[in-house]
């Protein structure tokens, strides 16, 4: 494949691509070549400019400068229509599907001139079978699991017989088994001559799949390489400019008292597209970190809301905090008892976007810091608390008066986690602690959680990043379809075992229905 590629002109060739936004230069002087049939990785941290570059190739965004050549000819890609006409297909990181429409309708919207929906449905079934991506064209998208939605996106691209397929972080929502399945499909496509641009920051995946890589850092190319001949740490150096930081992690001290206990927690979802929680049992002890793994949409959000008190429960004893039944209490009263929590949405739920950091600190920390006296706010104390948080957690910002939305995702997350930790919570619940956060800040946050554990706090981490859970957790449980598996000590389990559990198949699990996770590929037969 590589030898043949060297002779033919590259399928896609970029020279000197530049794109500047008012606040940031997203791409600067980017060169990139993709050979026919090559699986080429674009590697970089969040904010390195990968997504902007892909949007330029797909015609969603126009570059300020630079040249694009397609199979040797110079082209301007003015719109996604133009990109599709050339033979470029894209699978978006955040799915670009319409939830209230059927699979067929969604595909039809992206195909120019697809009028006969019945014929289209047959073609969808045909293509999905050929590439091992089972799909029912008649189903409404909102009823599909995340993995199935990704199949819709991929099949939608395949129907256009693409010669270049762009995948933007495609594995972030998949179980390990579904990732293997996806890789097989991609290798089959590449073998048929389709070029693939694979965007990711997961080094092991790139090593396993890709035959070439371009590394971006802060909008510039910092190197090209053949991932099969590199090590993860050599690519990490190109990606972040230094070695991968590692968390220091000592074994848990056993024998802490249970601080957060969930006993038979059940709740029907308010949202018709939500997940019902069903008989969840879990105990988190003082001085340990318990992780909950699972593919998104399996009840993580509902569980967090039930524990935080955002959706109070009927049964007081379903959630017990330090021995007290708090199921009916609202979040304020639970916080007063010593609960801290960090939701996955930073802006709008973890922090008020337009308010300053000091005001945001006040919102949850007013009990701890003596910031309110006789119902009046003591602004100086709130500012001092925010300044302390900014210094201790190395938050890069314009000071306590900066608006929350002016911070980058990683810095705001450091501030929010810091705000909760400084209140010395007895129990801390964190959802997706490092989602969309760069590697340096992610390590910092993980280390902060481990340090808090050392001081005796019981910590519950809900995350979709398996690597992260294995790095910091003492025990790991899996949530699938609103049910929770038993928690296993991290040292006694493996990524493979947890991956199987993510399909809902743990020992003793009730075998009701198919898993809601994106693992249908692992178990489904060719429909």
Partner 1 sequence: MTDALVPILAATLAAGTPLVFAALGELVVEKSGVLNLGVEGMMLCGALAGFAATVASGSAAVGALAGLAAGAAAALVFALLTLTLQANQVAAGLALSIFGVGLSAFAGKPFESVALPAPQPFALPALADLPLVGPVLFAQPPLVYLSWALFGLVSWFLYRTRPGLVLRAVGESPAVAHAIGYPVIGIRYLATLFGGAMAGVGGAYLSVSYTPMWAENMTAGRGWIALALVVFATWRPGRVLAGAYLFGGVTIAQFFAQGAGAAVASQLLSSLPYLATIGVLVLISRNPNVIRLNAPVSLGQSYHPDA
Sign of CA dihedral 451, 457, 462, 466: positive
73 part of the interface to partner 1, by CB under 8 A: no
Give the span between the Cα atoms of 186 and 68, in whole angstroms: 24
Nearer to partner 1, 158 or 498 (CB): 158
Give the span between the Cα atoms of 438 and 44, in whole angstroms: 10
Least distance (Å) between residue 84 CB and partner 1: 7
509 part of the interface to partner 1, by CB under 8 A: no
19 part of the interface to partner 1, by CB under 8 A: no
The interface region with partner 1, picked from 23-31, 270-278, 352-360, 489-497 by CB under 8 A, is 270-278
108 part of the interface to partner 1, by CB under 8 A: yes
CA nearest to 157, candidates 119, 184, 131, 187: 131
Single out the residue of 5, 14, 42, 110 in contact with partner 1 (rule: CB under 8 A): 110
59 part of the interface to partner 1, by CB under 8 A: yes
Give the span between the Cα atoms of 420 and 448, in whole angstroms: 11
What is the x/- site pattern for partner 1, positions 139-158, by CB under 8 A?
Answer: -x-x----------------
97 part of the interface to partner 1, by CB under 8 A: yes
The interface region with partner 1, picked from 231-239, 269-277, 378-386, 424-432 by CB under 8 A, is 269-277
Nearer to partner 1, 271 or 492 (CB): 271
Number of residues this chain uses to bind partner 1 (CB under 8 A): 23
Least distance (Å) between residue 81 CB and partner 1: 4
Nearer to partner 1, 110 or 430 (CB): 110
98 part of the interface to partner 1, by CB under 8 A: yes
Least distance (Å) between residue 104 CB and partner 1: 10
Both tokens of 460, joined, read: 């519950």
Contact 310, 350 (CB under 8 A): no
Phi, psi torsion values for 188, nearest 5 degrees? -60, -45
Distances (CA, A) of 100 to 137, 193, 269, 315, 448: 14, 35, 19, 34, 41
Nearer to partner 1, 120 or 133 (CB): 120
84 part of the interface to partner 1, by CB under 8 A: yes
Least distance (Å) between residue 87 CB and partner 1: 15
358-377: contacts with partner 1 (CB under 8 A):
none
Least distance (Å) between residue 518 CB and partner 1: 20
Compute how many other C-beta atoms are within 10 angstroms of the C-beta atom of residue 229.
Answer: 8
Supply the DSSP symbol for 134.
Answer: -
Give the span between the Cα atoms of 392 and 380, in whole angstroms: 18
Decide: helix, strand or coil at residue 405.
helix
Q: In the sheet that 39-43 helps form, which strands lie side by side, from edge to edge?
A: 88-91, 164-168, 195-200, 39-43, 212-217, 220-225
Least distance (Å) between residue 167 CB and partner 1: 15
233 part of the interface to partner 1, by CB under 8 A: no
Give the span between the Cα atoms of 135 and 80, in whole angstroms: 25
Single out the residue of 272, 323, 375, 507 in contact with partner 1 (rule: CB under 8 A): 272
DSSP labels, 243-288: PPP----PPPPS-PPEEEEEEEEEE--SSTTS--EEEEEEEEETT-
24 part of the interface to partner 1, by CB under 8 A: no
Give the span between the Cα atoms of 248 and 148, in whole angstroms: 38
Least distance (Å) between residue 410 CB and partner 1: 21
Compute how many other C-beta atoms are within 10 angstroms of the C-beta atom of residue 385.
Answer: 24
105 part of the interface to partner 1, by CB under 8 A: yes
Distances (CA, A) of 131 to 13, 20, 161: 28, 39, 13
Single out the residue of 9, 18, 29, 60 in contact with partner 1 (rule: CB under 8 A): 60
Least distance (Å) between residue 19 CB and partner 1: 12
Whose tokens are 């929502």? That residue is 173
Least distance (Å) between residue 239 CB and partner 1: 26
Both tokens of 292, joined, read: 């909950």
The interface region with partner 1, picked from 103-111, 276-284, 392-400, 462-470 by CB under 8 A, is 103-111
Contact 85, 137 (CB under 8 A): no
- List residues binding partner 1 (CB under 8 A): 59-60, 79-81, 84, 92, 96-101, 105, 108-110, 115, 140, 142, 271-273
């Amino acid at each position: 494949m590589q030898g043949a590629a060297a002779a033919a002109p590259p399928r896609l060739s970029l020279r000197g691509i530049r794109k500047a936004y008012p606040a940031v230069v997203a791409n600067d002087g980017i060169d990139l070549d993709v050979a026919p049939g090559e699986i080429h990785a674009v590697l970089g941290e969040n904010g390195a400019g990968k997504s902007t570059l892909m949007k330029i190739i797909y015609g969603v965004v126009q570059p300020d400068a630079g040249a694009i050549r397609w199979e040797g000819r110079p082209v301007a890609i003015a719109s996604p229509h133009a990109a599709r006409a050339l033979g470029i297909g894209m699978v978006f990181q955040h799915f670009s599907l319409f939830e209230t429409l059927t699979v067929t309708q969604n595909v039809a919207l992206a195909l120019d001139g697809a009028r006969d929906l019945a014929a289209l449905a047959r073609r969808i079934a045909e293509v999905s079978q050929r590439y091992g991506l089972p799909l029912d064209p008649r189903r409404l998208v909102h009823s599909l699991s995340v993995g199935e939605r990704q199949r819709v996106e991929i099949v939608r691209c395949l129907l256009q017989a693409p010669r270049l397929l762009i995948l933007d972080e495609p594995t972030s929502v998949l179980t390990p088994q579904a990732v293997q399945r996806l890789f097989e499909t991609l290798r089959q496509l590449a073998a048929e001559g389709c070029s693939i641009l694979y965007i990711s920051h997961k080094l092991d995946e790139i090593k396993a799949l890709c035959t070439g890589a371009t590394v971006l850092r802060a909008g510039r190319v910092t190197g090209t390489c053949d991932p099969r001949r590199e090590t993860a740490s050599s690519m990490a150096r190109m990606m972040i400019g230094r070695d991968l930081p590692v968390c220091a992690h000592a074994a848990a001290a056993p024998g802490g008292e249970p601080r957060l206990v969930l006993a038979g927690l059940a709740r029907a979802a308010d949202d018709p597209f939500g997940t019902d929680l069903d008989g969840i049992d879990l105990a988190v002890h003082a001085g340990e970190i318990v992780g909950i793994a699972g593919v998104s949409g399996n009840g993580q959000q509902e569980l967090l809301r039930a524990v935080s008190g955002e959706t109070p429960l009927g049964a007081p004893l379903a959630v017990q905090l330090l021995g007290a039944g708090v199921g009916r209490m609202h979040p304020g009263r639970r916080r007063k008892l010593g609960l801290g929590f960090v939701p996955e949405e930073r802006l709008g739920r973890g922090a008020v976007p337009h308010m300053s950091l000091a005001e945001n600190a006040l919102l949850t920390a007013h009990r701890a810091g003596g910031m309110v006296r006789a119902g009046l706010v003591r602004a100086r104390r709130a500012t001092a608390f925010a300044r302390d948080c900014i210094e201790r957690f190395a938050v890069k910002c314009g000071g306590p008066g900066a608006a929350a939305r002016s911070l980058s995702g990683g810095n705001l997350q450091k501030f929010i986690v810091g705000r909760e930790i400084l209140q010395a919570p007895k129990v801390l619940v964190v959802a997706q602690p490092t989602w969309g956060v760069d590697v340096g800040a992610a390590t910092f946050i993980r280390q902060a959680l481990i340090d808090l554990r050392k001081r005796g706090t019981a910590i519950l981490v809900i995350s979709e990043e398996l690597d992260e859970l294995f790095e910091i957790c003492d025990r790991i449980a899996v949530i699938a379809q609103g049910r929770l598996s038993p928690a296993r000590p991290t040292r006694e389990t493996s990524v493979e075992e947890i991956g199987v559990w993510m399909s809902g198949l743990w020992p003793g699990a009730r075998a009701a229905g198919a898993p809601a996770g994106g693992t249908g590929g692992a178990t489904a037969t060719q429909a």
